[in-house]
Amino acid sequence: MSITELGTQFNLKGRDCVELTDFSSEEIQYLLDFAIEIKRKHKNGEEYQPLKGKTVGLIFEKSSTRTRVSFEVGTYQLGGHALFLSKNDIQMGRGETISDTAQVMSRYLDGIMIRTFGHENVVELAKHATVPVINGLSDLAHPCQVLADFQTVLEHKGTLKGLKLAFVGDGNNMANSLLIGGAKLGVDVWIASPEGYEADAAVVAESRTIAKETGARIELVRSAAEAVQDADIIYTDVWASMGFEEEQKIREAAFKDYQVNEALASLAKPDYLFLHCLPAHRGEEVSEGVIDGRNSLIFDQAENRLHAQKALMAALIG
């Protein structure tokens, strides 16, 4: 199937990506296949520019390395123009309502990406915008990262359904989106977190409802060893995400038994994949032996942010 045929297999044009619940299981699988094909085309030097003549606004309330660079480069490679807008560049940072911002920007832009704190900001923006809105990260969800994560796993494992993914650490936005994405794709997701740091209860309930249809298993446990036992994928993230830096010392104590190190990783399958959304605090949530080891795919994973987001933008905006 050509990339043009693949790109039109599902009609997602004009849709939003607030969380992966916005898409069916089949649509998410399609986005992953589309991303892999876009990546192949890019590596072969073949031009693919469905965003030619289009502009995507990138709103950043949180600073970023991978999100900013991958969205700007991805928009350019698809033939479009990316407009970086920090909170200091637009009136939303000075009290203009999200509703007004959404309606004005919709008159100028063909799509909007927002990286913010409160998830309600993404929901409100999508509600009032008349162009596609993509959640580049909120405190509740990180759907773009999870698309790149499962693209990486698919490239290396050849399949997703029936795999066991163990997430060890804070039940943050990454844990939340992995639960939804895993449930949608038939991946068993085990979350190991200390008391008080569990994944969002509503997200857990929703993922379990989805999992009944796909056959996935969703488990929340206290023991990191129980989660990692026979896992195909081990995933972790920093213990104090952006906005929680003042809790660093408290979290270090709470998470002291949740480091992904060689001893813990030995419980997984020998060919397990190690993933981390980065940036990493080496020696804290993960040992250097694991993050730099032969099972680590952190840089493949980071690269795939570019290709997964290109697929998403091509499908929604192109």
- Using CA atoms, how far apart are residues 20 and 246, in angstroms rounded to an integer? 30
Ligand-binding site membership of 77 (annotated): no
143 is in an annotated binding site: yes
- Is 301 annotated to bind a ligand? Reply is no
Q: Can 305 be counted among the known catalytic residues?
A: yes
Which is the catalytic residue, given 139, 305, 307, 309?
Answer: 305
Of 16, 139, 170, 237, the active-site residue reads 237
Candidates 277, 301, 307, 309; catalytic one: 277
Is 107 designated active site? Answer: no
Confirm whether residue 173 is marked as ligand binding: yes
Active site residue 251: no
Asked if 15 is an active-site residue, the reply is no
Which of 70, 43, 62, 9 lies closest to 306 in space, CA to CA?
Answer: 70
Residue 17 is among the residues annotated as catalytic for this protein: no
CB 52 within 8 A of CB 80: yes
> Is 68 known to sit in a ligand binding site?
no
| Of residues 16, 18, 29, 11, the one with CA closest to residue 185 | 29
Q: Is 17 annotated as a binding residue?
A: no
- Look up 277 and say whether it is catalytic: yes
* Active-site hit among 145, 151, 259, 309: 145
Question: Is there a binding annotation on residue 66?
Answer: yes
Q: Is 115 annotated as a binding residue?
A: yes
Report whether 149 contacts 275 (CB < 8 A): yes
Catalytic annotation, pick one of 15, 16, 17, 115: 115
For residue 142, say whether it is annotated as part of any ligand binding site. yes
Catalytic residues: 115, 142, 145, 237, 277, 305
**Known binding-site residue numbers:** 64-67, 91, 115, 142-145, 173, 237, 241-242, 277-278, 305
Q: Residues comprising the binding site for carbamoyl phosphate?
A: 64-67, 91, 115, 142-145, 277-278, 305
Q: Binding site membership for L-ornithine: which residues? A: 173, 237, 241-242
